[in-house]
A and B are shown apart, each in its own frame.
Chain A
Amino acid sequence: MNRRGALFSLGAMAAAAATPVRALEMKGYPTDMSMDPAFLPRPAIHGGSFQVLTADIDRRTVTAVFDRLIPADDLGASASEAGCVEFLDMQLAGPFGEGASLYRKGPKLPNEDELAQTPQFIETPRERYATGLAALEAFAQKTEGASFADLPEPRQDAILKGMEDGTVDLGPDVNTKAFFELMLINVREGYFSDPIYGGNKDMVGWKMIGFPGARYDYRLYADRTGEDLGLEPVSLIPRD
């Protein structure tokens, strides 16, 4: 930096020779303004055949759990009626199921959950469902002598409550509380996400709470503070 004269070569870049380097080099504003295909909405169409929840028993357990977490009642359809089981299957088949966003390098340290104040996992959600569903079924067989899906609803509720508050332990392979929370967040995602992902059928979740969905402009309504606006929801799926 003491050769001042050689510095700060205004305009020199214009003459820069191509280097043998394959960086994605950009000069000028991109002229292609079409949608990046990777960013287009990705409708999830299930088509009936399951990709991850392939075992009948796993599907029955998930359906039973989801329908206790979000049951059918006068406020609307149950989770499975709203498509949440298919939703989960498709989520587990994709990047979410693979834990694609997680930092998964080992080892998992003994103090991780305590320091983090929330459980951490090296396992993927897909692996956690496989282990968790098997352990839940084994627990039902051991304590009740029947499949979880075949238990009376009050008994199912009692087991779920125990998983939630930590009084039910599904064994050493499963963080039971965390598995309950995983199922709870996934069923809510299915029930309240855009129907484009296979759940929230007929926007049942959105109608239940009064969320108008994929609308993008509320300027006409913003001044009507405190009013029930009665807006029908819309989704990313074209209407016809």
Chain B
Amino acid sequence: MTTKRQKADVVIVGLGWSGALMAEELTRAGLNVVAIDRGAWTDTSTHTPPSVDPDELRWSQRKELLSPPRDNTATFRNTLDQTAIPTRNWGVFELGGGVGGAGFHWAGMGWRFSPWDFEVRKQTIERYGLAKAEDGELQLQDWGVTYDELEPFYDRWERIAGVSGRAGVIKGEKTGVGNPFEGSRSRDYPTPALKTLRAMELFNDATNRMGLNPFTIPTANLSEPYVNPLGVSMGACSYCGFCLYFGCGNFSKSSPQACIFPVLMRRPNFTVLTKSCVTRLTKANDGKTVTGAVYVDEQGNEVEQPADIVILTAFMMDNTRILLHSGISKPYDPRDQTGVVGRNFTFQTVSGTDMWFEDDNINPFIGAGALGSQIDDYNGDNFDHSDLDFIGGAGILTLSRDGLPIAKANALPPGTQRWGSEFKKSYAKYYRNYATIFNQGCSMPTKTGYMDLDPNFKDKFGVPLLRLTYDYAQSDRNMAKFTMDRSLEIAREMGASHVNGFNFADKPFTTAIVASDHVIGGVPMGADRPTSAVNPYLQSWDCHNLFVVGASAFPTNAGYNPTGTVGALAIRTARAIADTYVKNPGALVEG
């Protein structure tokens, strides 16, 4: 039997960055909001203080802050004729285990996408012709929102997160520092960039000599104490290096916990239900609206939370799965490319170069999750693709965060014995003399890259697992090879004695090996109703009181990490709900 709770104005499914930003805006606007999250309450002082945090085995190897594959995984296959297999161990799905989602253990690269990233199709056709955009395999579509429209909301997200960086372009003027290729900003970052560490020095010097344009990656690891617009105080990053997969004991890695919960939790019109997993949404009889969310609590009771507005912020996997399982909107069919839910899965196309130096001291234990230098000379459409067999590109970056000794024990020059005295000798020398160049490449959707429900495997509630069908587009494969070659050139210029290029896209895609955590798409946004599940305000085309927020909405993926764009889209949607929708419930966009 399903019990019913008292109706709320808004139910939010999932309280990570997306859900927390939405909840903050909507509670401030006076709505009463109930958030439901499958995770347990997890916070800095109670769970990850400095006395607990610096522990590689527990947090990075065993990943105890994450939601295990046992509870949350997906099946995958490369092509339609294969039987999909479950992802049994850790791989690309490194979901957050607690309330706050993956934004607690993430690295914290705090990017905006470039203007090109929102209009890949349009601009590719304009600059290179239709054939380049429609090669038979790609399924390019634009976002229905432009960088300029999103800029104020990027700015707001950066203020809330306190992102540390240096502007490259302010109000259309190049500053002479920072990233000269970035979209124009209304103002500088709220806090200055972090320090330049050794691997970054080598990279900056080399790329400068090569006529490229290095800059420090914007980080949600804060360079100095900061108070955000909500009044929440954050501390300065201590370069502890226990960052990616870890909490932050210093309140200096931005997260829903560090930046939003202290204010949100105090609002009387906000409630959060923890350890409660939403399995489906309920629909009104006319099918034009949804009426609430059904969840299973810790004791296994099924409960319905009715609400006037339903917001899915359960990450792209469950955003997609809940829609499919609830029978909302037409599932995507790869054979004729009709339908919208599950459409345009994308990833991150990664290549790069491992490097070893002889007598340096990279000191990799000093670092922060997002700290590094990057060039955008080969990202997006910042370079001419007329004579190239691909579109897009990659952020080519070096990291100052590679100091965890168990994880790095395989990072030895090619040909080195991986055990025995030879291993010990090599690791003793190269632990402090290793660095990497990572090409974080764009990912373009294909006609057969999509998600549906798996016919064979289920989760612990008996709900089918999400089934992912995907392989890299040839365009992305070519891009990864091209950028790998650029990274090899940079590595040699940096003076590395040994270099080893790697390219995840020269093999088929797999969910079982973590090239990146950025799984994207499934509920694409757009101005064109037949090819998108949500409109440019992330409002369901079919159920006007349903909003689906997160990287599920990206119709294409850029050569940057997603969360800045997730945050900007969430804030924009929340404002549209508070300012327009509540006054006149209905479609915010004609479609």
Check if A and B associate: yes
Report which A residues bind B (CB closer than 8 A).
1-2, 4, 7-14, 16-17, 19-30, 32-36, 39-41, 68-71, 73, 75-76, 95-96, 100-105, 109, 111-112, 115-118, 120-122, 157, 160, 164, 184-185, 188-189, 192-194, 196-197, 205-206, 208-219, 221-223, 225-229, 236
Q: How far is the CB of A62 from chain B (nearest CB, A)?
A: 14
A102/B241 in contact, CB under 8 A = no
| B417 nearest CB across to chain A (Å) | 9
Does B297 reach chain A (CB closer than 8 Å)?
Answer: yes
Contact A26/B457 with A1-B545, A21-B301, A211-B405 known, Cβ cut-off 8 Å: no
The 8 Å CB contact of B425, one of A20, A75, A225, is A75
Chain B 557-591, CB-CB to A under 8 Å as 1, else 0, gives 00000000000000000000000001011000000
Residue B289 contacts which of A1, A118, A208 (CB distance < 8 angstroms)? A1
State the Cβ distance, B132 to closest chain A Cβ, in Å.
Answer: 31
Assess the A225–B198 pair: CB atoms within 8 A: yes
- Convert B257-294 into 0s and 1s, putting 1 for each residue whose CB lies closer than 8 angstroms to a CB of A: 00001100110111111111000000010000100000
- The 9 nearest A-B residue pairs measured at CB: A101-B68, A116-B512, A209-B431, A193-B57, A217-B238, A214-B54, A13-B32, A29-B265, A192-B405
Nearest CB on A from B95, distance (A): 12
Q: Are B240 and A12 in contact (CB under 8 A)?
A: no
| A90 CB, nearest partner CB in chain B, Å | 11
Q: How far is the CB of A128 from chain B (nearest CB, A)?
A: 12
Residue of A nearest to B236 (CB): A219
B20 → A minimal CB distance (Å): 14
Give min CB distance, B350 to chain A, whole Å: 14
Q: A205 vs B147: C-alpha distance in the bound complex, in angstroms?
A: 49
User: Which of A28, A223, A228 is the one whose CB lies under 8 Å from B265?
Assistant: A28
Contact B421 A71 (CB under 8 A): yes
> Within B492-521, which residues are at the interface with A (CB < 8 Å)?
507-508, 510-513
With A41-B52, A192-B409: A8-B582 Cβ-Cβ less than 8 Å: yes
A–B pairs, 16, beta carbons within 8 Å = A7-B585, A23-B273, A30-B41, A75-B421, A75-B425, A115-B510, A116-B85, A121-B88, A184-B419, A196-B55, A209-B405, A216-B54, A218-B239, A219-B236, A225-B197, A236-B55
Main secondary structure of the interface of B (DSSP, over half): loop
In the complex, what residues of B have CB within 8 A of residue A39's CB? 46-48, 52
A22-B297, A39-B52 given; A13·B195 CB < 8 A: no
Contact string against A for B residues 32-56, beta-carbon threshold 8 Å, 1 for contact and 0 otherwise: 1010000011010111111111111
Q: Are B420 and A118 in contact (CB under 8 A)?
A: no
Cβ-based interface call for B339 (8 A): no
Min CB–CB distance B307 → chain A (angstroms): 10
Residue of A whose beta carbon sits closest to that of B196: A225
The answer to whether B9 and A7 have CB atoms under 8 Å apart is yes
Decide if A209 touches B85 in the complex (CB within 8 Å): no
A210 touches B545 (CB 8 A): no
Residues of A within 8 A of B41 (CB): 24, 26, 30
Given contacts A10-B30, A75-B428, A217-B238, contact A24 B276 (CB under 8 A): yes
Q: Are B428 and A226 in contact (CB under 8 A)?
A: no
Q: Which of A10, A101, A196, A212 contacts B69 (CB 8 A)?
A: A101
Residues of B52-85 at the interface with A, using a CB-CB cut-off of 8 Å, are 52-57, 61-63, 68-70, 73, 76-78, 82-83, 85
What number of B residues sit within 8 Å (CB to CB) of A? 113
Q: Is the CB of B266 within 8 A of A102?
A: no
> A188 near B297 (CB under 8 angstroms)?
no
Residues B70-108 near A (CB distance < 8 A): 70, 73, 76-78, 82-83, 85-91
Interface hub of B87, B239, B297 (most chain A Cβ within 10 A): B239
Interface contact A36-B239, CB-CB below 8 Å = no
In chain B, positions 297-353 with a C-beta closer than 8 Å to chain A are: 297-299, 301, 303, 308
* Chain A residues within an 8 Å CB radius of B512: 116-118, 120
Which of A22, A112, A122, A209 counts the most chain B CB atoms within 10 A? Answer: A209
Q: Which residues of A contact B238 (CB under 8 A)?
A: 216-219
Contacts of A7 in B (CB 8 A): 9, 308, 582, 585
Question: Given A7-B9, A117-B512, list of 19 further CB < 8 A pairs?
Answer: A8-B31, A11-B268, A11-B269, A23-B298, A24-B297, A28-B265, A34-B46, A40-B52, A70-B420, A103-B69, A111-B85, A116-B513, A120-B512, A189-B406, A193-B56, A209-B432, A219-B238, A222-B197, A226-B361
Partner of A1, one of B201, B268, B360, B544: B544
Q: CA separation between A11 and B423, bound complex, in Å? A: 64
8 Å CB contact of B273 from A1, A14, A24, A33: A24
A70 to B261 alpha-carbon distance, docked (Å):
46
Residues of B with C-beta under 8 A to A69: 419-420, 423
Is B8 part of the binding interface, using a Cβ–Cβ cutoff of 8 Å? yes
**B361 x A23 contact (CB < 8 A):** no
A214 to B404, CA, bound (A): 11
Partner among B89, B196, B269 whose Cβ is within 8 Å of the Cβ of A13: B269
- A109 x B83 contact (CB < 8 A): yes
Give CA–CA (A29, B262) in the complex, Å.
7
Q: Is the CB of A192 within 8 A of B457?
A: no
- What separation, in Å, do the CA atoms of A196 and B89 have in the docked complex? 25
**Bound state CA distance, A69 and B422, in angstroms?**
10
Contact B76 A115, beta carbon cutoff 8 Å: yes
Q: A1-B544, A8-B9, A101-B68 given as contacts; is B52 within 8 A of A226 (CB)?
A: no
In the complex, whether B427 has a CB less than 8 A from a CB of chain A is yes
**A212 proximity list for chain B (CB < 8 A):** 365
- Would B508 and A117 count as touching, CB distance under 8 A? yes
Q: How far does the Cβ of A115 sit from chain B's closest Cβ, in whole Å?
A: 5
Q: Which one of A26, A71, A102, A197 lies within 8 Å of B272 (CB-CB)?
A: A26
Closest Cβ of chain A: how far from B343's Cβ, in Å? 22
B431 touches A211 (CB 8 A): yes
CA distance A10 to B31 in the complex (A): 5
- B405 & A205 in contact (Cβ 8 Å cutoff): yes
Query: Are B365 and A211 interface neighbours, CB within 8 A?
Result: yes
- Cβ–Cβ < 8 Å partners of A219 in chain B: 236, 238-239
Known: A9-B9, A117-B507. A197 touches B585 (CB 8 A): no
